[in-house]
């Protein structure tokens, strides 16, 4: 294979999960990127910012890996993070190849069993972090609110892009463990429906 060529293939697993493989042997690591087709567009007015908050909660452990995700993956990676936009939420890791199986297991575990270890303490911790992120990037930044104001003009209510992905502080404050469990069920249901089409 030429250095500039990359073999790309797509596999759909029996559970409906699409896997896109891009083989590039010029790198000394494996890049893993998981995308959920759920973002802030799936929220409702009065419950904004929940997709982004859920992104944060996904790093707080799951049934078989009930510890902070960064504490396990950072030592074996060259990068790890996640992001949310109106249309999707994604998580990515660049890891040494010998850890791929472990990290795929961890991704599967949080995909299926996050809510089994979700606690009020974890939720409150992440709510504070998200609210601080909102203040830092929008409220306490020069012209920080301009993007929010423009978005409200371009996408008037009831359009699902009417609000910023980070949501409103008053909505984030109202998030309860029960609501987050409902969002997790919604994500699972949407992935299930996608797999059946």
3-state secondary structure of 8: strand
Domain membership flag for residue 2: no
42 part of a folded domain: yes
pTM score of the predicted model:
0.84
pLDDT for 186 beyond 80 = no
Is 175 part of any domain? Answer: yes
pLDDT tens digits, one per residue of 126-151:
999 999 999 999 999 999 889 999 99
- C-beta of residue 70 within 8 angstroms of C-beta of residue 83: no
Cα separation, 7 vs 96, whole angstroms:
20
Q: Tell me which residue range forms the domain holding 25.
A: 7-186
- pLDDT averaged over every residue in the chain: 90
Q: Which residues are catalytic?
A: 55
Q: What is the DSSP string of 103-159?
A: HHHHHHHHHHHSGGG--HHHHHHHHHHHHHHHIIIIISSTTTTHHHHHHHHHS-TT-
Q: In the structure, what pLDDT confidence band is assigned to residue 109 with cuts at 50, 70 and 90? A: very high
Decide if 33 is inside a domain: yes
Pairing between strand 30-36 and 89-95? antiparallel
Which residue matches tokens 């990359």? Answer: 6
Longest dimension (CA), the chain: 54
Average pLDDT over residues 160-179: 89
What confidence category does residue 167 fall into, taking pLDDT thresholds of 50, 70 and 90? very high
Q: pLDDT by residue (tens digit) across 54-75?
A: 999 999 999 999 999 999 999 9
Q: Would 194 be classed as within a structural domain? A: no
The domain tally of the chain equals 1
Tokens of 11: 């596999």
Is residue 77 one of the residues assigned to a domain? yes
Is residue 90 pLDDT above 90, yes or no?
A: yes
In a domain, 196, yes or no: no
pLDDT band at residue 4, thresholds of 50, 70 and 90? low
List the CATH number of the domain containing 65.
3.30.830.10
What's the rounded Cα separation, in Å, for the pair 5 and 89? Answer: 29
Percent of the chain with pLDDT over 70: 90
In a domain, 82, yes or no: yes
């Amino acid at each position: 294979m030429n250095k500039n060529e990359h073999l790309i293939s797509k596999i759909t697993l029996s559970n409906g999960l699409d896997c896109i493989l891009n083989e590039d042997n010029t790198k000394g690591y494996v890049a893993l990127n998981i995308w959920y087709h759920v973002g802030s567009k799936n929220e409702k007015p009065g419950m904004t910012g929940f997709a982004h908050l859920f992104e944060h909660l996904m790093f707080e452990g799951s049934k078989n890996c009930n510890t902070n995700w960064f504490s396990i993956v950072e030592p074996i990676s060259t990068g790890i993070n996640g992001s949310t936009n109106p249309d999707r939420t994604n998580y990515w890791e660049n890891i040494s190849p010998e850890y791929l199986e472990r990290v795929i297991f961890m991704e599967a575990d949080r995909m299926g069993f996050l809510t089994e270890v979700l606690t009020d303490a974890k939720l409150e911790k992440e709510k504070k972090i998200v609210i601080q992120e909102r203040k830092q990037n929008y409220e306490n930044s020069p012209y920080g609110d301009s993007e929010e104001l423009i978005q409200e003009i371009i996408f008037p209510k009831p359009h699902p892009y009417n609000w910023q992905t980070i949501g409103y502080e008053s909505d984030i404050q109202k998030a309860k463990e029960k609501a987050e469990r409902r969002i997790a069920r919604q994500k699972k249901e949407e992935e299930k429906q996608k797999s059946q089409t």
